[in-house]
Amino acid sequence: MSIAPSPARRAQPRVHEDVVSTPTARRVVRVHRAGAFTVAAVLAVFGLLGFIGGLDYFDTGGQVVGLSSNGLLSTISLATAALLVAAAVKGGRISGLVMTGVGTAFLLSAFWHLVVLNTGLNVLGFGMSNVVFSIVVGILLLTLGLYGRVSGNLPEDNPYRANLVTGSPQLEEEPELPPRTAAERRAEAEIRAAEIAVAEHRATPEQAARVEAMRSERTKAGRRRVWMQHS
């Protein structure tokens, strides 16, 4: 049975966009991007101050804002900052993965330098303050990178839920896949009308059942496929 939307309903906003771009999904993406940009800014300032201070590349006695540093550490700091910025620009999911990796690297670096602190292997000129700084930044990056990904009680609109439940990849942002056939265009109109009806608590049992069946789908093609299978 076809469900034809009335002309008055065509001008209303699409509920589907709200379903895909949910508050939880937007919050997770914002946290990942904001976290990556913030940590990148701190590392960039640290690296730039090292270069401005004219530190030698392998100096073991240089100081920047209370932390030991040298030209090599300044270079690594700027490179890490650039990586975090690139990940944040690319997208929230990428930011989360990169922050998790970089955070792990910071923690490993802290433990390594704790072992070689007073030896010739300490080529970055680490002091105890650097070890503490690396641990703090590492934990911060891991916390931000894993935000929204490791809970055992994720809400249904969390963008990582499908990965944890099914192990399958999940797109963070839905690609634009316009309907190509008359049947798909009709299905799009029916989906739009049904979702509006569900949101306004006036949906028929059939509309409610078909909208519920589409809940696990995050792409237009997938939602159309489920809708058309129930027709």
**Using one digit for the tens of pLDDT, what is the confidence trace for 79-114?**
999 999 998 888 657 788 889 999 999 999 999 999
Same domain assignment for residues 135 and 58: yes
Instruction: Give domain status of residue 16, yes or no.
Output: no
Which of 104, 127, 149 delimits the end of a domain?
Answer: 149
194 and 94 share a domain?
Answer: no
8-state DSSP, 214: T
Any domain includes 139: yes
Asked if residue 196 and residue 135 are part of one domain, the reply reads no
Q: Say whether pLDDT at 231 is over 70.
A: no
Are 78 and 185 in a shared domain? no
Residues 126 and 215 both lie in one domain:
no
Residue 175 lies in a domain: no
Residue 29 lies in a domain: yes
Q: Is the pLDDT of residue 66 over 50?
A: yes
What does the pLDDT read at residue 25? 65
Is 144 inside any structural domain? yes
d(Cα 76, Cα 123) in Å, to the nearest integer?
A: 12
Q: Is residue 184 part of a domain?
A: yes
Phi, psi angle pair for 204, to nearest 5°? -75, 160
Answer yes or no: do 130 and 201 share one domain.
Answer: no
For every residue of 93-159, DSSP letters joined together read HHHHHHHHHHHHHHHHHHHHHHHSTTSTT-TT---HHHHHHHHHHHHHHHHHHTTTTS-SS--TT-T
- Does one domain contain both 33 and 118? yes
Handedness of CA 52, 55, 57, 60 (dihedral sign): negative
Tell me, yes or no, whether 2 lies in a domain: no
* 212 and 101, same domain (yes or no): no
Do 145 and 39 share a domain, yes or no?
yes
Structural domain including 222 reads 180-231
Which residues 6+ apart lie within 8 Å of 142 measured at CB? 99, 100, 103, 104, 107
Q: pLDDT at residue 54 above 80?
A: no
Answer yes or no: do 119 and 184 share one domain.
Answer: no
| Band of residue 154 on the pLDDT scale cut at 50, 70, 90 | low
pLDDT band at 160 (very low <50, low <70, confident <90, very high): low
- Count: domains in the chain: 2
Residue 91 falls within a domain, yes or no? Answer: yes
Average predicted confidence (pLDDT) for the chain: 76
How much of the chain, in percent, has pLDDT values that exceed 70? Answer: 73
Asked if residue 53 and residue 117 are part of one domain, the reply reads yes
Q: What is the pLDDT of residue 62?
A: 72
> Same domain for 49 and 101?
yes
The 10s digit of each residue's pLDDT in 24-49 is 667 777 888 888 899 999 999 988 98
Q: How many residues does the chain have?
A: 231
